[in-house]
Amino acid sequence: MRRMFGFLIGVFVGALVGSTIALLLTPESGEELRGEIRQRGERFASQIRSAADERRIELRGRLEALRAPREV
């Protein structure tokens, strides 16, 4: 659980740093920039949801394996 939490913190900090750099270096107008930021935010949220879904499936599989009766 710690590894997952650390990973999510790293992803969040990386996204924050990347978006800050993009804001400082972009040659686009304000409206274009807001649209780009919105799209990146939506993609980021989608990736997080996808990663969470994959992890949930993996953990359910492990739980089912642990719950299965053991053969002696």
The predicted-structure confidence for 20-55, as pLDDT tens digits, reads as follows 887 777 776 778 878 888 899 899 999 999 999 999
For tokens 């997080």, what's the residue?
48
Q: Is the pTM of this model over 0.85?
A: no
Angle separating helix axes 30-67 and 2-25, nearest 10 degrees: 170
**Single-letter code of the amino acid located at 32:** E
Q: What are the two backbone dihedrals, phi and then psi, of residue 45, each rounded to the nearest 5 degrees? A: -60, -40
Domain ranges of the chain: 28-63
Q: What mean pLDDT do residues 8-17 have?
A: 91
